[in-house]
């Protein structure tokens, strides 16, 4: 069983489109996150969601919005995609806020 | 906010040598320091972590040391093998009452030559 699963693994789309990436964890963890990894491998936090408390990195454009239907899911919705959004997006979870992460396998988003 | 500096950005060693990656952090309230290994095209994976009440932790060929006074921590890999080649990330976070979102270093690309 995959602990943190993301779909799709690859996503190629045109500028201006709206897309979603799904994330599910079966570890019973309390906190979930979304990270963006750019071409230089830097891992940038986008969102953290813990017990219905959402923490947003203020540098993330409001075109990005997380949606959590329940504790096991944290989906990422992106509106009006731009070329600069091309990156690998990782979902992660941790048993307790701030402690060791289990990452998903990543979604490589390419905006053309 | 927290700032984590990681050095070197690239480290090349011969198989069997030791490798050391160093990180410094700025917020003295940080109390949890994990290390992640990311192989090419794969997800980052937690390989070892240390909490602020401990100075050193070992797991087989991997060890992490923490100097709270100087606000730096290091990853030590002994007897390196080609399969250790990957990007390694350090992170620092404040748990329980803090912002609890780890701040990552920019990564070190470790290359182990056979």
pLDDT at B63: 98
* Cα A49 to Cα A71: distance, rounded to the nearest angstrom: 9
pLDDT at B97: 56
Q: Which residues of chain A have pLDDT under 50?
A: none
> Do the bridges between strand A107-111 and strand A10-13 make them parallel or antiparallel, or are there none, so unpaired?
parallel
Query: Is residue B98 predicted with pLDDT exceeding 80?
Result: no
Q: Out of B32, B106, B109, name the one closest to residue A98 (CB).
A: B32
Question: Is B94 within 8 Å of chain A by CB?
Answer: yes
pLDDT at B113: 97
* Cα B19 to Cα B34: distance, rounded to the nearest angstrom: 17
Tell me what percent of chain B is helix, strand and coil, each rounded to the nearest 5. Answer: 5, 55, 45
Query: Is residue B46 predicted with pLDDT exceeding 80?
Result: yes
What number is the average pLDDT over the span B21-48?
A: 95
Closest residue by Cα to residue B49 from B61, B60, B65, B38: B65
What number is the average pLDDT over the span B6-18?
A: 98
Confirm if A71 and B4 have CB atoms less than 8 A apart: no
What number is the average pLDDT over the span B49-69?
A: 94
Comparing B93 with A83, the larger pLDDT belongs to A83
pLDDT at A84: 95
pLDDT at B96: 62
Q: What is the token pair recorded at B86?
A: 């990957």
* Closest approach of A14 to chain B, Cα-based (Å): 23
Instruction: Tell me which of A98, A103, A105, A108 to substitute to probe the interface with B (most B C-beta atoms closer than 10 Å).
Output: A98
What number is the average pLDDT over the span B82-94?
A: 95
């Amino acid at each position: 069983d995959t602990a943190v699963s993301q779909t799709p693994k690859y996503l190629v789309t045109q500028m201006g489109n709206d897309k979603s990436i799904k994330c599910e964890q079966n570890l019973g963890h309390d906190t979930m996150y979304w990270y963006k990894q750019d071409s230089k491998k830097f891992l940038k936090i986008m969102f953290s969601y813990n017990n219905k408390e959402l923490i947003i990195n203020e540098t993330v454009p409001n075109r990005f919005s997380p949606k959590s239907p329940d504790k096991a899911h944290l989906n990422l919705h992106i509106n009006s995609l731009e070329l600069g959004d091309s990156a690998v997006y990782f979902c992660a979870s941790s048993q307790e806020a701030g402690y060791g992460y289990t990452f998903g396998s990543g979604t490589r988003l390419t905006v053309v | 906010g927290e700032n984590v500096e990681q050095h070197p950005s690239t480290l090349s060693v011969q198989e069997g040598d030791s490798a050391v990656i160093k990180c410094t952090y700025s917020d003295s309230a940080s109390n949890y320091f994990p290390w992640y290994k990311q192989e090419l095209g794969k997800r980052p994976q937690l390989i070892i972590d240390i909490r602020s009440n401990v100075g050193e932790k070992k797991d087989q060929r991997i060890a992490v040391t923490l100097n709270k006074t100087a606000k730096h921590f290091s990853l030590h890999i002994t007897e390196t093998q080609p399969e250790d080649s990957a990007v390694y990330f350090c992170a620092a976070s404040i748990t329980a009452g803090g912002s609890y979102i780890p701040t990552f270093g920019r990564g070190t690309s470790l290359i182990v030559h056979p």
